[in-house]
């Protein structure tokens, strides 16, 4: 069977991060499934930086069709999970099914990938505690609050958690992601 | 001297919350000063709900001119501080000057008002610990993580902290805000 | 019974003025009902000033659900009526039911509040004749044409008509609005 | 010398009406000069109808460079003046130089063309009194208030005033415009 | 019977070119029918130039209702066909029915008008071969590739093909269009 | 020295295709240089499909800073060139320096990668003649016109030309791109 990656997002998810993940995993031979609260065309957003703003600017992004609902997810079917950034993680962290899915990935010793605000899901699921991580610089506070240890780096791997700051660091991030997928997650170690 | 209220926001701040605060305090006879990272026209945003979205949608909002920079703020000049929501609190909580200002308001036993994501500043300043609060429902996790106790209500007052979920609950919120301002903050009590 | 205020707007109505009115009256303990041509989500607009423009710029604004249609309005139920600005008054002044409602408020000696372009409704209903008023500066011509007397001020009260230029003068305007509501409209006098 | 037409608009002017006028007159061999408050790229707007709205919707339109300022206009140089619609007439009617220009065209017995909201300028200049006219249906009130007589038609010619409701009636309107330009305006008669 | 002109466009068609064509022909007494892939409100676009861009910028344009589908077109009913620019010609040139319509106009020795990208349809129908033409400067390559001879001019007439670069040259273009319609297309000659 | 890839785009270039290319090559260890008419922040666009449209819809996309101008390009420094799609190729094909660059890549027997409208550059440079290729389906006409042979496939490799229809086929496309880069371009053969 073709190996599968689960991608978690929803309305407000960052569009470039979502499409890059889907297509990058497909290129590498995986089936990449986008899970969301419902199965439909998602309203993804564009988070980009523009002169004259002290933070990123949000605009409509590339849309994507979700492949399945969170309720339909069977963790056994997937090698790993990717938590996409943007504004979706903010409300998805209040979705108990999402948190249960992430904990099950962890319990099965599978890889947890997180980019940008995706770390909010990892934190809410209780999986950042005691872990070194990175994320969009302005989200670090929330993760440190639950016991994570922020590292300013393009990618940070700690155990089975691989995290990255924003879509700007995707080249370094995906190098690590695929290096990790070469080895069984259950033996993941601090690099 | 005319009494003053400090309003904290920046690019990405919620435009309706900002203008409502400025004008509501002005109506009540206060000088309302908007503090931001720099003194200029701020790129405020509109957070509104639209059919077909699982979360709010962000669009360009009403702009406002900030009155002073955080560096120029003298806490002694103000009766209270209002932390505006939207996306500005996300990055302002990494601004140590903002956190120092909030702690000084607290140290001087002045009122701390927070709407929506504004609570992120209160939490980052360490002022939510042990406090009952409310906020936009999807931000509660971050505040509980630092020891706050979330309450699902239109307004929650605990000591000198008065908080509210979103701009939709402003009527109830501002009733409390002005009731509080009638009494010395230093004697604020759990209602 | 809780006192009620009727708010008149429609597609193209100014979104900040509408929401401010609704919430400000709610804060003060009133039921605020938005009446429009139909009962649905209204396409309100944002009128804001931007560098490089000789007039305001229009963009999509915060939406609001109307509470009742003009046909459903019973003037007896309300203390006062608020005419919102933006572009809605332009076409609502051709709606005979709207004009009848306003005349009935006047006949019952109730308060008529008007902000910005809202004065176009007052004028079309024949209620500006011989009255001192203010409004968005570029609308004054139309009201003077029907016998109104323009005054350049933040708020102007003449009899039971209280008017204001734009949403920028709302603090002063609402101070007058609530001062008026303290007294019976039927004894309204030139301040 | 090539015959000239003066076109009056500014920021907020309707973009299709402006460009159509400029190019239609050029096709007919005229020099078409756009006069505005300043000589620069104007922020014209698009007024279009969209399902679900009770009025037109405004969006950014095609831009145009103005050719001269109102101060630079010499009425002697032009055969006729065209008052463009959109939102520009609202504020231009408070510009005394614009009104003086229109009155001078009238005094020199030249043609006055008006489309949509353009009639607001004619009315403000005192040139609609006693005249049959047409315009965007929701602007009629203002013109009737100063003594004009509204006619529901695609084009109305009364003396030297030729008016039209909106850009949708341009075919009929321009047929009249060019028919008028064939004859000396000074002998214009009710058709 | 009133003479008729067929106008070919679809979603992505240039909105000013489309409306100008429809109304200009109507003014001249023609019925102007917009044919498109389906009969509905078309999503036309605005192609305008803005400082800071090396090419035109695309934005939502004025919408229009199409009058008939390509399948419903009977070439016998029309005097001429106008190929509108924008982005619609790009995909319409893969519509065999559109190409058949154009070839039938040519076979019946009727006029072929083309503005901007409209020439892509003429080229795809095989009607540009050996013809002098003009078009948006960056489309010339495609037409030269099929044997057309590009001329840098405001309007180029060769036989029954009359073409123009962009909507900026419409005045000159329509002068030629109407001059051509005065004479039988079957005797069209190189001017 | 780190191997380099040249990426050709400009204002109107497709933003996802551009960023994906830059980051995908970076992940693989290449320096990815974006060449454009000038060295500045480029106005890239988003080409996405939306229900109700017969073609793609264009909106503002993710911006990118170009790294060098076409004049500064030294073909010797690069392993291969990637021609990005969107609307940039339309006008870049009239840039003789761009065509010279592409011909030099070909002369040096280096890889030519093309996605979507990128093929317009290949065609204009005279490098599609006699080659099997693929591209956005509505651009095929132009390339067939100069002697290319269109193939409906996710990726087509012919000699040193590797082409792909749209960003939707990037997974398959980049598999081929990297397979090609493993072998010397000078021995590229029809697969």
Average pLDDT over residues B93-116: 98
Whether B and C touch, i.e. at least 3 CB pairs below 8 A, reads as yes
D118 min Cα distance to partner chain C (Å): 14
- Hey, which chains touch C, using 3+ CB pairs under 8 Å? B, D
Cα–Cα dist F99/C129, whole Å: 72
Q: Which of C58, C69, C102, C117 to mutate to test the interface with D (most CBs of D within 10 A)?
A: C58
H/E element holding A164? strand A161-164
Contact E138 F54 (CB under 8 A): no
Q: Do residues F169 and F160 lie in contact, with contact meaning Cβ atoms separated by under 8 Å?
A: no
Q: Do residues A105 and A125 lie in contact, with contact meaning Cβ atoms separated by under 8 Å?
A: no
Alpha helices by DSSP H, chain A = 15-27, 88-92, 96-107, 119-124, 140-144, 170-182
Q: Is the dihedral of CA E169, E175, E180, E181 positive or negative?
A: positive
Average pLDDT over residues B23-27: 98
- pLDDT for position A183: 86
Q: Do residues F122 and E139 lie in contact, with contact meaning Cβ atoms separated by under 8 Å?
A: no
Long-range contacts of F20-23 (CB under 8 A, 24+ apart): F20/A20, F20/A23, F20/F167, F20/F170, F21/F82, F21/F84, F21/F115, F22/F64, F23/A20, F23/A170, F23/A171
Cα–Cα dist D34/D67, whole Å: 5
Tokens of C176: 């007058």
Cα–Cα dist C18/C24, whole Å: 10
Give the number of other CB atoms < 10 A from CB of residue B96: 11
Residue showing tokens 């020891």: B147
Q: Could you report the per-residue pLDDT of E81-96, keeping only the tens digit for each?
A: 999 999 999 999 999 9
Sequence-separated (6 or more) residues with CB below 8 Å from residue D1: none
Q: Do residues E7 and E21 lie in contact, with contact meaning Cβ atoms separated by under 8 Å?
A: yes
- Residue D66: Cβ-neighbour burial (10 angstroms; 0-12, 13-18, 19+): buried
- Residue B29: Cβ-neighbour burial (10 angstroms; 0-12, 13-18, 19+): exposed
Q: Do residues C82 and C5 lie in contact, with contact meaning Cβ atoms separated by under 8 Å?
A: yes
Tokens of C147: 């016998």
Cα–Cα dist F138/A74, whole Å: 40
The backbone torsions φ and ψ at residue A190, rounded to the nearest 5 degrees and listed phi first, read -65, 120
- pLDDT for position B183: 86
- pLDDT for position F186: 58
User: Would residue E117 show up in a list of annotated catalytic residues for this protein?
Assistant: yes
User: Residues 58 to 87 of C: which have CB under 8 A from any B CB?
Assistant: 59-63
Give the closest of D10, D57, D142 to C145, CB-based: D142
Asked if C52 reaches chain B (Cβ–Cβ under 8 Å), the answer is no
- pLDDT for position C186: 59
Cα–Cα dist B162/B139, whole Å: 16
Cα–Cα dist C44/C64, whole Å: 7
Report DSSP state, residue D118: G
- Kindly provide the residue ranges of all beta strands, DSSP E only, lying in F91-135, ordered along the sequence: 111-115, 132-133
Mean pLDDT for chain F overall = 95
F7 alpha carbon, distance to own chain's centre: 7
> How confident is residue B33, by pLDDT bands cut at 50, 70 and 90?
very high
- pLDDT for position D110: 97
Report helix, strand or coil for A190.
Answer: coil
pLDDT at E7 over 90: yes
Average pLDDT over residues A110-114: 98
> How confident is residue F183, by pLDDT bands cut at 50, 70 and 90?
confident
Q: Do residues D141 and D147 lie in contact, with contact meaning Cβ atoms separated by under 8 Å?
A: no
- pLDDT for position B188: 47
Cα–Cα dist D187/F33, whole Å: 70
Report DSSP state, residue A183: S
pLDDT at E191 over 70: no
Mean pLDDT for chain E overall = 95
- pLDDT for position F188: 47
Q: Do residues D69 and D40 lie in contact, with contact meaning Cβ atoms separated by under 8 Å?
A: no
Average pLDDT over residues D174-188: 83
Q: Could you report the per-residue pLDDT of F88-123, keeping only the tens digit for each?
A: 999 999 999 999 999 999 999 999 999 999 999 999
Asked if D31 reaches chain E (Cβ–Cβ under 8 Å), the answer is no
Q: Could you report the per-residue pLDDT of D79-133, keeping only the tens digit for each?
A: 999 999 999 999 999 999 999 999 999 999 999 999 999 999 999 999 999 999 9
Q: Do residues B45 and B58 lie in contact, with contact meaning Cβ atoms separated by under 8 Å?
A: yes
Cα–Cα dist F13/B100, whole Å: 45
Average pLDDT over residues E114-137: 98
Contact D55 C12 (CB under 8 A): yes
Asked if C166 reaches chain B (Cβ–Cβ under 8 Å), the answer is no
| CA angle at B168 for the pair B165 and B174, rounded to the nearest 5° | 75
Cα–Cα dist A78/A2, whole Å: 10
Report DSSP state, residue F76: G
- pLDDT for position B96: 98
Mean pLDDT for chain B overall = 95
D47 min Cα distance to partner chain E (Å): 8
Cα–Cα dist C9/C43, whole Å: 10
- Residue F82's nearest CA partner among F155, F13, F7 is F7
Q: What share of chain B is helix, strand, coil (3-state, %, to 5)?
A: 40, 25, 35
Chain F residue whose CA is closest to E41 = F52
- pLDDT for position C162: 98
Q: Could you report the per-residue pLDDT of A36-72, keeping only the tens digit for each?
A: 999 999 999 999 999 999 999 999 999 999 999 999 9
Tokens of B68: 């002073």
Q: Is the dihedral of CA F53, F59, F64, F66 positive or negative?
A: positive
- Bigger pLDDT: F57 or C185? F57
Percent of chain E beyond pLDDT 70? 96
- Residue A49's nearest CA partner among C47, F65, F110, F186 is F65
Specify the length of chain B in residues.
191
pLDDT at B111 over 90: yes
Tokens of D170: 């341009």
C-alpha dist (Å) from residue C82 to C39, D17, E104: 18, 34, 62
Contact B27 C63 (CB under 8 A): no
C-alpha dist (Å) from residue F39 to A177, A189, F10, F42, F78: 33, 43, 10, 8, 19
Cα–Cα dist C46/C61, whole Å: 4
Cα–Cα dist F84/F62, whole Å: 14
Catalytic residue among C33, C117, C138, C176: C117
Sequence-separated (6 or more) residues with CB below 8 Å from residue B184: none
pLDDT at E189 over 50: no
Q: Do residues D101 and D75 lie in contact, with contact meaning Cβ atoms separated by under 8 Å?
A: yes
Reading phi first (left if > 0) and then psi (alpha if -120 to 50, else beta), residue E55 is in beta
Average pLDDT over residues A140-161: 97
Average the pLDDT over each of B103-112, D146-155, D175-184, F34-43 and give the range with the smallest value.
Answer: D175-184
Q: Could you report the per-residue pLDDT of E39-64, keeping only the tens digit for each?
A: 999 999 999 999 999 999 999 999 99
- pLDDT by 10-residue block (mean), chain C, 191 residues: 95 98 98 98 97 96 98 98 98 98 98 98 98 97 96 97 98 98 64 39
- pLDDT for position A1: 78
H/E element holding F21? helix F15-27
Which residues in chain B touch residue C174, judged by CB atoms under 8 angstroms apart?
Answer: 27
Which residues in chain D touch residue E62, judged by CB atoms under 8 angstroms apart?
Answer: 16, 46, 48
Average the pLDDT over each of A141-155, E171-185, F73-87, F155-169 and give the range with the smallest value.
Answer: E171-185
Asked if D101 reaches chain C (Cβ–Cβ under 8 Å), the answer is no
- pLDDT for position C1: 78
- Which residues are D115's β-sheet partners? D164
pTM given for the model? 0.95
Cα–Cα dist E151/E140, whole Å: 9
- pLDDT for position E190: 41
pLDDT at B126 over 90: yes
Tokens of A91: 């409300």
Cα–Cα dist E120/E135, whole Å: 9
Q: Could you report the per-residue pLDDT of D8-61, keeping only the tens digit for each?
A: 999 999 999 999 999 999 999 999 999 999 999 999 999 999 999 999 999 999
- pLDDT for position E127: 98
pLDDT at B189 over 70: no
- Residue C18's nearest CA partner among C40, C39, C46, C37 is C46
């Amino acid at each position: 069977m073709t190996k599968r990656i689960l991608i978690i997002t929803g309305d407000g998810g960052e569009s470039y991060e979502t499409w890059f993940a889907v297509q990058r995993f497909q290129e590498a031979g995986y089936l990449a499934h986008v899970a969301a609260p419902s199965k439909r065309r998602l309203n993804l957003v564009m988070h980009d930086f523009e002169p004259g703003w002290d933070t990123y600017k949000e605009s409509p992004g590339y849309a994507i069709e979700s492949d399945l609902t969170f309720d339909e997810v069977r963790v056994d079917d997937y090698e790993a999970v990717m938590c996409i950034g943007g504004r979706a993680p903010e409300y998805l962290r209040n979705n108990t099914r999402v948190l249960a899915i992430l904990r099950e990935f962890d319990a099965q010793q599978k890889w947890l990938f997180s980019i940008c605000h995706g770390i909010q899901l990892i934190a809410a699921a209780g999986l950042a505690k005691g872990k070194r991580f990175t994320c969009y610089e302005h989200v670090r506070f929330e993760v440190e609050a639950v016991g994570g240890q922020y590292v300013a780096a393009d990618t940070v791997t700690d155990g089975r958690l691989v995290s990255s700051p924003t879509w700007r660091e995707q080249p370094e991030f995906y190098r690590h992601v695929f290096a990790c997928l070469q080895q069984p997650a259950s033996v993941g170690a601090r690099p």
